[in-house]
């Protein structure tokens, strides 16, 4: 069910928050033994649900747009009084002392958080296999990954435990799991949504995003969580947040040369079919060149680990994180980090400190940042002639657990999503069809990329091409 359908039922008295939250908890109880989407389930949500049910009964249901709606939240987003581990051993027992800005806003809107979801440790990965607490499985096929790093959030929505879950997207972590699980996955413009209370991975790339069943729901949630926040200096308000126009007919740009290597032929075929549908609806589809986008992966895997190495320095067993006493202070740092952090976190810290070290800074980090500036220019140039850029979200459908042992093959899944974070623009993944693999029908997504602050265009196209067709 979508949020808006649920909300209508609440207002019409056809169901109650008590029933909806009880249903959420029972779906989790039944299915999560196998799927493992959740790290923590909040049974005390029932008390909140009862209060919300009473508010509807008292005619106060209209006052809050999400009153009584059960949602799930990725476990790298702080919820006051709840465990926030980032799926890392080093924060295994950490309890958040305050609400993240996005949580404040959703609570204020009346949402009921029924649990926190699994992720790759500190959001580093694309399969949720890097969680220190075990992987999440794809509800469509339990032998496959749900994507990542927001795999728990995607699985929570796909297994119908909640109509919406929050994720974070540093290089595709909302869009790619949405693609693998058959959901809408939306990543806002950098700075549109406050990062206050999000565990930082790559601070210049991170944004909170939405996993939902409809574009209209994603739009509604965005309306609630966006906005300037003094606690996050990178947030942009209405003065700088200049919306771009929606149109009757759009021009879509397809970066053709980008769509060659390593893309599953079935994914490509579904993508071509979508382009045909756009044309049939009277839109224009043109080929564009984005040569620098193709270097996006290389730039991302320098910039991101550099920021990771700096952001994760705080988890040293003294300032933050579980302490493992050593024979002296240095030894305590070493022991705590060695025991507390997983292999992917360590890999990225090593890479990051390397590219930032003196002598290599200019050769790697400086160059990647320069490439990033050029990518931004290149993309702005393209947006002078097209309204939206369109690509598949990921090169393949969901892969098998354990299939991508070599980190590089995992990183390659991010080829279409990371340029979006490097340039700070908004993007959305929408289900575009399913492919058959060994008896399973696996969803795959199409990605629409809009200019800076062009969210309304994404929602407009999404509602016209997806919601309407799906009868939402
Ligand atoms: N898969 C990407 C990575 O491993 C993206 C992660 C993310 O967006 N948090 O870095």
Rounded Cα–Cα distance for residues 150 and 153 (Å): 5
Spans of the chain below 70 pLDDT: 241
Question: What's the chain's length in residues?
Answer: 472
Pocket test for ligand 1, best of 87, 173, 211, 409 (most atoms within 8 A of CB): 173
232 CA distance to ligand 1 centroid (A)?
Answer: 21
Q: Cα(135)–Cα(146) distance, rounded to whole angstroms? A: 9
> Running DSSP on this structure, what letter comes out for residue 228?
-
Distance 252 CA to ligand 1 centre (A): 26
pLDDT at 98: 98
Q: What is the pLDDT of residue 96?
A: 98
Ligand 1 neighbours by CB, cut-off 6 Å: 123-126, 149, 168-173, 201, 304, 414
CA–CA distances in Å: residue 273 to residues 109, 121, 251, 411? 39, 36, 17, 27
Inter-residue contact 117 to 165 (CB < 8 Å): yes
Residue of minimum CA distance from atom 5 in ligand 1: 171
| CA dihedral of residues 261, 264, 266, 268 (deg, nearest 10) | -30
For residue 149, indicate whether it is catalytic: yes
Single pTM value for the model: 0.98
Q: Which atom of ligand 1 is nearest to the CA of 172?
A: 8
33, 39, 435 from 133: Cα distances, Å: 13, 8, 30
The span from the CA of 426 to the CA of 449, in Å, is: 6
**By CB neighbour count within 10 A (0-12 exposed, 13-18 middle, 19+ buried), where does 357 fall?**
exposed
Cα 451 to chain centroid distance, Å, stands at 19
Task: Tell me the Ramachandran region of residue 428: left when phi exceeds 0, alpha when psi lies from -120 to 50, beta otherwise.
Answer: beta
User: Could you tell me whether strands 440-449 and 388-392 are parallel, antiparallel, or unpaired per DSSP bridges?
Assistant: antiparallel
pLDDT given at position 241: 67
Position in ligand 1 atom list of the atom nearest CA 176: 1
Task: Determine whether 88 is an active site residue.
Answer: no
Which atom of ligand 1 is the closest one to the Cα of 126?
1
Testing ligand 1's pocket by substitution, the residue of 87, 149, 399 carrying the most ligand atoms inside 8 A of its CB is 149
Half-sphere exposure at residue 234, Cβ-oriented, CA atoms within 13 angstroms? 14
- CB-based contacts of 3: which residues, under 8 Å, 6+ apart? 66, 69, 163, 164, 212, 214, 217, 220, 221
Catalytic site includes residue 74: yes
Q: What is the pLDDT of residues 152-169, one digit of tens each?
A: 999 999 999 999 999 999
Identify the sign of the CA torsion 51, 223, 432, 178. Answer: negative
Cα–chain center distance at 77: 12
186 to each of 30, 426, 430, how far by Cα in Å? 28, 8, 9
pLDDT score recorded for residue 239? 81
Pairing mode, if any, of strands 184-187 and 440-449? unpaired
């Amino acid at each position: 069910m979508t949020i808006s359908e649920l909300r209508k039922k609440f207002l019409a008295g056809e169901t109650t928050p008590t029933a909806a939250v009880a249903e959420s908890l029972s779906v989790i109880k039944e299915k999560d033994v196998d799927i493992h989407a959740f790290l923590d389930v909040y049974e005390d949500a029932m008390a909140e649900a009862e209060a919300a049910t009473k508010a509807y009964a008292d005619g106060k249901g209209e006052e809050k747009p999400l009153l009584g709606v059960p949602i799930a939240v990725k476990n790298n987003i702080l919820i006051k009084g709840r465990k926030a581990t980032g799926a890392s051993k080093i924060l295994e027992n950490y309890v958040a002392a305050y609400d993240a800005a996005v949580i404040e806003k959703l609570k204020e809107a009346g949402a009921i958080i029924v649990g926190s979801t699994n992720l790759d440790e500190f959001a580093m990965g694309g399969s949720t296999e890097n969680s220190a607490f075990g992987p999440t499985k794809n509800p469509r096929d339990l032998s496959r990954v749900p994507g990542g790093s927001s795999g728990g959030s995607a699985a929570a929505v796909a297994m119908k435990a909640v109509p919406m879950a929050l994720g974070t997207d540093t290089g595709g972590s909302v869009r790619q799991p949405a693609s693998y699980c058959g959901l809408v996955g939306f990543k806002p413009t950098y700075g549109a949504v406050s990062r206050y209370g999000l565990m930082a991975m790559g601070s210049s790339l991170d944004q909170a995003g939405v996993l939902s069943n409809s574009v209209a729901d994603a739009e509604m949630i965005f309306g609630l969580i966006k906005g300037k926040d003094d606690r996050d200096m990178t947030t942009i308000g209405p003065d700088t947040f200049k919306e771009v126009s929606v149109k009757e007919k759009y021009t879509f740009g397809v970066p053709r040369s980008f769509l060659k290597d390593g893309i599953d032929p079935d994914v490509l075929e579904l993508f071509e079919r979508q382009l045909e549908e756009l044309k049939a609806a009277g839109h224009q589809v043109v080929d564009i060149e984005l040569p620098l986008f193709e270097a996006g992966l290389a730039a991302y895997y320098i910039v991101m680990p550099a920021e990771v190495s700096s952001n994760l320095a705080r988890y040293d067993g003294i300032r933050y994180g579980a302490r493992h006493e050593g024979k002296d202070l240095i030894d305590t740092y070493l022991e705590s980090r060695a025991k507390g952090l997983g292999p992917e976190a360590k890999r990225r810290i090593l890479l990051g400190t390397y590219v930032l070290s003196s002598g290599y800074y200019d050769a790697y980090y400086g160059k990647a940042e320069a490439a990033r500036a050029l990518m931004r220019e290149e993309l702005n140039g393209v947006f002078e002639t097209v309204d939206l850029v369109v690509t598949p979200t990921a090169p393949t459908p969901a892969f098998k657990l354990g299939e991508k042992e070599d980190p590089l093959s995992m990183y390659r899944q991010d080829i279409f999503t990371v340029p979006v974070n490097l340039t700070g623009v908004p993007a959305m993944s929408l289900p575009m069809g399913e492919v058959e693999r060994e008896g399973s029908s696996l969803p795959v997504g199409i990605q629409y990329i809009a200019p800076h602050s062009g969210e309304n265009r994404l929602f407009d196209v999404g509602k016209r091409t997806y919601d309407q067709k799906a009868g939402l």
